[in-house]
Amino acid sequence: MNRTIAEEVMTAEEDTVCHSLVKKPKMSSTAMTAADEEYYPHDSFDRYGDDLCGLILSYLSSSDCFRFECLSAQWRRLVYKSAHSLVIYGKEPNSCLKKDDSKPRAMNWKTLQVMVKKLPIITSIYIEINTKTTEKVLEQLLIECHNLAAIHVTFGDTIDGQIADQILDKYGHQLTAVSLPKSNDVIKAFNSHSESYTRLQEIIHCNTVPLKLSVLFNDHNELLVKDLTRFTFDYTGDQDLPLLQTFVDHYSHRLKSIQVHRYLTDKMEVLDVLTQLSKLEVLNELKIYVNFKKISITKTFTDCLKQLSTKCRRLKSFRFYMYDIRDTEMTQILPSISGFKRLRELQLMFSKPNTESHENCLDFSLKSLSPLKRMTHLWLTFGGFALNETLFDSIDTHLPRLQTLKFTSSLEISAGIEESVHKLPKLRRFELQTK
């Protein structure tokens, strides 16, 4: 059927409007002289400019950079422009090894020098040291890189204590972070050079078992490392309380992140730890484990949490793992956490005792978290608890800035839950796992 003249005119106007909305690419000076010709560069990266291209290429690994620099002059110019970090993990850095059929694989030092010269603006190094060869790699990097602001050394589980001692003796004053294995020889070497750690800000454990608090002290219970900003340790009981008090007294206005591992099982033990942690006034990240098998939620406990929220006003990330917690106790936790009004990230894990019934459905609400208006990331795990979908009612009113929501429980996702969650105006990621 033939279209009317009016329909044709309307279609032509729509095409004109749509065409005007399309953003045309930047034209070269040569094309500008042509009569209204559209110019599309053969190299699509020319459309974005060097700054945006450099940002895109900054996500490439070092090994990818060495391969992709051969693509074009532009890539060769930009591929290293935003490379600020160099990561070397494994027993031997493979990219710098050469193969000889008659000999074991050996370090190609010339290749390493060429690699470092191509990365002139490296400001941070992350390297794992297991052997004498990787020790020499670190030495070479420290000679060639002149703009280093961060040096993170990880001592592997198989490293010899003597090698660790030599590195800490020679380079301890330059290190900003150290990862230690659970090796008495390495820890002994670490303690013997404590006076040289003038830049050390972080001590990390290499395996699943955190370091003991005593690693920071000598035999006379004197604090050895005094400039940390982050620390993770395993609290082993009342014998650690004097050390924790000394640690907190020194770091009350310095420490920014702390993680207390080991499931605190004694009521007084929990109260003592919470009381001490509340003295860390500039803390912005806290992670703690508590086992409620022998503990009951009392006013004293909730008062400690409120004291923590009052004194640690800068806290932005709080991860609280609660094991063997009962229904009635769980409902008392959230109101106590609502005092952390500057929180951006909150991760709560509630695990129910196996001896309790899992059939009773809790009428649980996030309304008690409504004072946390700044929060953008929320992770909730309810192990063994039966919940109903009213948990998500009015979540957009209670937590309007939420961008990430991860929820794990036996609750099945429903149309009602989806409707409530999608009312969040800034939500970017929603995960609901059932188990």
Query: Side chain identity at 46, as an amino acid letter?
Result: D
Cβ atoms 294, 326 nearer than 8 A:
no
Which phi and psi angles does 380 have, rounded to 5°?
Answer: -125, 130
Examine the pLDDT at 328 and tell me if it is beyond 70.
yes
Q: Which of 43, 42, 44, 84 is nearest to 60 (CA)?
A: 84
Please give the average per-residue pLDDT across 151-160, as a whole number.
Answer: 90
Please give the average per-residue pLDDT across 59-68, as a whole number.
Answer: 76
> Lowest mean pLDDT: which of 156-160, 171-175, 205-209, 315-319?
205-209
Q: What are the pLDDT digits (tens) for 15-31?
A: 444 444 444 444 444 44
Examine the pLDDT at 98 and tell me if it is beyond 60.
no
Q: What are the pLDDT digits (tens) for 256-270?
A: 999 998 666 677 888
Structure tokens at 63: 């090994």
- pLDDT given at position 243: 94
- pLDDT given at position 205: 79
Alpha-carbon separation of residue 144 from 113, 147, 150, 174 (angstroms): 8, 9, 15, 14
> Lowest mean pLDDT: which of 41-50, 122-131, 351-360?
41-50
Ranges 29-38, 114-123, 363-372, most confident: 363-372
- pLDDT given at position 432: 81
Residue 316: which residues within 8 A CB-CB, separation 6 or more? 284, 285, 342, 343, 344, 345
Examine the pLDDT at 13 and tell me if it is beyond 60.
no
- pLDDT given at position 297: 67
- pLDDT given at position 99: 33
Query: What is the percentage of the chain residues whose pLDDT exceeds 70?
Result: 78
Q: For the residues of 101-125, what is the DSSP string, one character each?
A: TTEEEEE-HHHHHHHHHT-TT--EE
Domain boundaries, the chain: 47-82, 344-434
Please give the average per-residue pLDDT across 263-288, as a whole number.
Answer: 87
Please give the average per-residue pLDDT across 276-296, as a whole number.
Answer: 87
Q: Is residue 349 within a helix (H) or strand (E), and if so which, with residue range? A: strand 345-351
Displacement of CA 431 from its chain's centroid (Å): 19
Cβ atoms 178, 155 nearer than 8 A:
yes
- pLDDT given at position 190: 92
Q: Which of 191, 47, 59, 42 is nearest to 178 (CA)?
A: 191
- pLDDT given at position 211: 84
> Lowest mean pLDDT: which of 40-44, 166-170, 232-236, 313-317?
40-44
Which tops the pLDDT comparison, 13 or 187? 187
Collapsed DSSP state (helix, strand, coil) of residue 430: strand
Average pLDDT, the chain: 79
Alpha-carbon separation of residue 306 from 178, 263, 331, 374, 390 (angstroms): 34, 21, 15, 18, 27
H-state helical runs in 172-293: 184-192, 241-251, 267-277
| Angstrom distance (rounded) from CA 116 to CA 310 | 48
| Angstrom distance (rounded) from CA 202 to CA 231 | 6
Examine the pLDDT at 158 and tell me if it is beyond 50.
yes
| Angstrom distance (rounded) from CA 370 to CA 341 | 9
Cβ atoms 165, 183 nearer than 8 A:
no
Confidence of residue 399 (pLDDT cuts 50, 70, 90): very high
Please state whether beta strands 103-107 and 97-100 pair in parallel, antiparallel, or not at all (unpaired).
antiparallel
Examine the pLDDT at 96 and tell me if it is beyond 60.
no
| Angstrom distance (rounded) from CA 176 to CA 272 | 30
Please give the average per-residue pLDDT across 137-159, as a whole number.
Answer: 89
| Angstrom distance (rounded) from CA 46 to CA 51 | 11
Please give the average per-residue pLDDT across 81-90, as a whole number.
Answer: 76
Query: What is the percentage of the chain residues whose pLDDT exceeds 90?
Result: 31
- pLDDT given at position 362: 65
